[in-house]
Structure 1
Amino acid sequence: MRPRLLALLCVTGSLVSGCGLLPGGHDRHTVTVWLMKDSASQDFLRRFTEDFERTHPDLRLDIRIQQWTGIVDKVRAALRSDAGDTPDVIEVGNTQVPLYVEDGRLADLTLESMRDWGKEDWLRGLAEPGRDGTTQYGVPWYAASRVVIYRKDLFAGAGITDPPKTRAQWLADTEKLNSGGDQGIYLAGQDWYTLAGFVWDEGGELAVRRDYAWHGALDTPAALRGMDFYRRLQALGHGPVDADEEHPPQAGVFAGGEVAQIVAVPGLADSIVRQNPGLKGKLGFFPVPGKAAARPGTVFTGGSDLVVPRNTDDQFAATAVVGALAGAKWDTDLARTMNYVPNKTTLAGAVAGEEGVAAMAAGAAHGRATPNTPEWAAVEADNPIKGYMTRVLRGADPRAEARRAARRITEELTPDLG
């Protein structure tokens, strides 16, 4: 951003940062940063700001808190703007990065990623959506992924001493739990994020890119194996086959008792205990099991990347902020403060003391994101995967339904081929 006099500097959002002049009368450059609501606590932002401004005496931070509702349109407008008050750094959802890359208005951060930021250790589920070909536009910041939340007392009552580490053992334990009168697992029929992990574990994909066009891939043998495992697991409970995990909210179902497991982010445990205080101290967490004990299952990884608009007035200052936020010191601080997964597999030890976050970090190390194309938003808008899952769980032919869903995905991702 352009230099501003002290009288003209101001701060908006939930973080108030100071304004002033450097000794000798030289004014500081202000770097405007857009962060999303609840991504970081005010205490974290205060501590980060104080440290950054101390170590970068020529810069000031203006951190502005944004709402998720309507953020895509707001970011796109900022990226196109020629006004002098546009942001220099923006936090965006990891799967949103392709939307902004398509507009061609993000700065290329490949060199910094390779030279200074240790990109080889980044979580795949955060790094891949931030990349277009060999160019890195989004820098991973933090992640969250699904784990299994379970009732320790119900596991003990069924004679299960240790959480399962393989999918085969998970099925066997869940069947044992289900036969005791409780639901072995509550798994809604349209929880397609969980299905995606099983598909990826089998070597399948939701969609693949061939000859510069995207094609749905749910009808491959590998993807069908993932759906078959989902069907077998979902049958060991009473989850509705025609609804997703939010209809009804699975936290409420679990809090109602007589449910041994759900697949969810660890933070949902707080909601469960608020609704049923009697479950305090009875909940545990383990990574979604994989096909072999040596590796947890693949899971969908959500979270945020940091991007720098091409229209920033000072890309050097903007990348300094990105480097600090995404660097080991403050990234691990954020993870501990907010119960996130750090952006690198090598930093997982920073959250080892929290059972739920540690389980999440183990899964996120093998996490994936949705297909790296801006058109994927159109798939989710009227998601054919959900209908496919419901029809299979009701007994329809999986291959025929997978072909139908794959065609729908292809039509949304590559309309000219539809």
Structure 2
Amino acid sequence: MRSLKTAAFSTAVLLAATACGGSGSEGGASEAPGSLTVWVMGTAQDPLQKYFDTVEQRYQEDYPDTSVEVEFVPWSDAQQSINNALAGGDAPDVLEVGNDQVANWASQGAIMDITSRTEQWGAVSDMDQAAVDYASYQESQYGVPWFTGVRTLYYRSDWLKGLDMEPPQTWDELVEVAKAIEEEQDVPGFAAPTDFTNGIASFIWSNGGEIAVQQEGEWQGRLTSAETREAIEFYAGLTTEENISPQAYVGENELVPLADMANGEVGMYIDGGWALTSMEEQAEDPAVLEDIQAAPIPGADGIAPAFVGGSVLTLFATTEHPDAAFDLLKTMSDKKGGKSYADAGGFFPAYPEMLDDETYQSDPLKAAAAEQLKHTEVLPATPNWNAADQDGKILPGAVLDIVKGKDPDTVLEEANKELTKTLNKPVA
């Protein structure tokens, strides 16, 4: 069994900054190891501890002498921890990474190419294929989806009921409902923060546009296409022309309207299920939260695609036991393990067939996200995406400039050139 290193834990979840992975070749040893280490991003919570107890029990049906040791790594420490492991420090066997980080770590040699293994595992074909594709790099598979999550449209159900209106499903309805809310409640009807790539992307995708596409190994920005330009101008116009989103959100991300939503100061905004905990912390009157509901994100003519967020399980490149480690990965992410972790963490399983389950349909907030998960897209799967978005803020910067009154054609032409240049920079 796993040894305890934190006395307060009744489960055998390790939180000490140690791991058992070591240097080794991809071929690995075939014998069962004495232990395998999993790095999980985030903080330990009781439901997650119980989940890993069950994982170990299931895993030991085939590997009775192998213990499963788990270290929780705060997301803020993830990059440094993985870099330290790459430099020869303590390393895991199985590693959780954000699905938008797969290309980055694959390009750096931190995670293992598991294509041959996933091709022989039938469960992969039942997973969300957009999420599966996002766990690949240069046509090789480096991980499998562990859980998924999406953003939805939060709204005040009591306000819409008083207006005899339904949650908007299209852009036109979004404007109509937002204006009605403002007229009745004297608060902004909708929040359109400019520093919000994932939200802006939904508007682009719903109009048939793209941020960038890959052709013959080269990335091409698509910010100047008619469909993308129209969507960006519409989003910017929610502040400048329709006036349903206030100037207070210009230059801001979704955290500002989150606090406003929790305190009855905005009628609608876009965010993920993870925002509910923050709303609970920030609400001056908890009763307000009872009237906050969710619906799929409205698009140009119907439900807009949302970025399919979530995490991927991978094998660290230096694991000495890749076969045993992949079997552990399968235990954690098969239909039983994947659903159990999603339920424990407040996410959704990576298997679309499960989204109609009563577990998700009986709760209106979860039902909205489950429906949204049927309409998803992914951001450019390249190690350079972070440089383009988090560092360069190319797309949100363009939206900000347009909101500030700069010529959209000029702004998008320059942004598109910079995006294409950044995405095609050589990967070290």
**TM bracket, shorter-chain basis:** 0.7 to 0.9
C-alpha contact 1:79 1:309 (8 A) present in aligned 2: no
Pick from 374, 399, 411 the counterpart of residue 389 of structure 1: 399
C-alpha contact 1:206 1:217 (8 A) present in aligned 2: yes
SS of 2:230 mapped into structure 1: helix
Tell me the alpha carbon deviations over residues 150-206 of structure 1, each in whole angstroms, 9 at most, x when there is no partner: 11111112221x323333323322232233223211221322211111112222222
Question: CA 1:228/1:124 → structure 2, altered by over 3 Å: closer, same or farther?
Answer: farther
- 2: CA distance, partners of 1:27 / 1:17: 20
Alignment of 1:403 onto 2:404: no
User: 1:373 corresponds to which residue?
Assistant: 382
CA displacement at 1:28 relative to structure 2: 5.8
User: 1:286 corresponds to which residue?
Assistant: 295
Amino acid at match of 1:223: T
CA displacement at 1:77 relative to structure 2: 3.7
- 2: CA distance, partners of 1:51 / 1:408: 50
- 1: CA distance, partners of 2:339 / 2:263: 35
User: 1:358 corresponds to which residue?
Assistant: 367
Amino acid at match of 2:395: I
Amino acid at match of 2:229: L
User: 2:221 corresponds to which residue?
Assistant: 216
Alignment of 1:347 onto 2:327: no
Pick from 1, 12, 16 the counterpart of residue 12 of structure 2: 16
User: 1:253 corresponds to which residue?
Assistant: 260
Alignment of 1:414 onto 2:416: no
Question: CA 1:386/1:330 → structure 2, altered by over 3 Å: closer, same or farther?
Answer: same
Alignment of 1:331 onto 2:322: no
- 2: CA distance, partners of 1:64 / 1:255: 33
CA displacement at 1:406 relative to structure 2: 1.2
C-alpha contact 1:269 1:283 (8 A) present in aligned 2: no
- 2: CA distance, partners of 1:352 / 1:38: 28
CA displacement at 1:319 relative to structure 2: 0.7
C-alpha contact 2:262 2:289 (8 A) present in aligned 1: no
C-alpha contact 1:204 1:223 (8 A) present in aligned 2: yes
Deviates more, 1:102-111 or 1:320-329: 102-111
Q: How does 1:48-59 map to 2 (within 5 A)?
A: 48-59=55-66
Structure 2 unaligned blocks of 5 or more:
15-30
Amino acid at match of 1:61: V
Question: CA 1:330/1:396 → structure 2, altered by over 3 Å: closer, same or farther?
Answer: same
CA displacement at 1:147 relative to structure 2: 0.6
Q: How does 1:99-118 map to 2 (within 5 A)?
A: 99-118=104-123
Deviates more, 1:391-400 or 1:113-122: 113-122
Q: How does 1:173-188 map to 2 (within 5 A)?
A: 173-180=177-184, 181-188=186-193
C-alpha contact 1:287 1:360 (8 A) present in aligned 2: yes
- 2: CA distance, partners of 1:120 / 1:204: 27
Amino acid at match of 1:371: P
Count of aligned pairs between the two proteins: 396
Pick from 37, 40, 52 the counterpart of residue 32 of structure 1: 37
TM-score (norm 1): 0.86
Alignment of 1:204 onto 2:218: no
Amino acid at match of 2:415: A
- 1: CA distance, partners of 2:216 / 2:108: 22
Q: CA RMSD in A?
A: 2.6
C-alpha contact 2:257 2:266 (8 A) present in aligned 1: no
SS of 2:119 mapped into structure 1: helix
C-alpha contact 1:59 1:317 (8 A) present in aligned 2: no
TM-score (norm 2): 0.84
CA displacement at 1:117 relative to structure 2: 4.1
- 2: CA distance, partners of 1:298 / 1:363: 7
SS of 2:248 mapped into structure 1: coil
Tell me the alpha carbon deviations over residues 217-255 of structure 1, each in whole angstroms, 9 at most, x when there is no partner: 211112112213313444313153532225x63222123
C-alpha contact 1:117 1:323 (8 A) present in aligned 2: no
CA displacement at 1:61 relative to structure 2: 0.5
Residue identity over aligned pairs, in percent, reads: 23
User: 1:21 corresponds to which residue?
Assistant: none
SS of 1:45 mapped into structure 2: helix
Alignment of 1:242 onto 2:246: no
Amino acid at match of 1:163: P
Question: CA 1:114/1:245 → structure 2, altered by over 3 Å: closer, same or farther?
Answer: same
Tell me the alpha carbon deviations over residues 66-89 of structure 1, each in whole angstroms, 9 at most, x when there is no partner: 1222322322442453x7x53110
CA displacement at 1:90 relative to structure 2: 0.3
SS of 1:215 mapped into structure 2: strand
C-alpha contact 2:123 2:334 (8 A) present in aligned 1: no
SS of 1:193 mapped into structure 2: helix
Structure 1 unaligned blocks of 5 or more:
1-5, 19-25
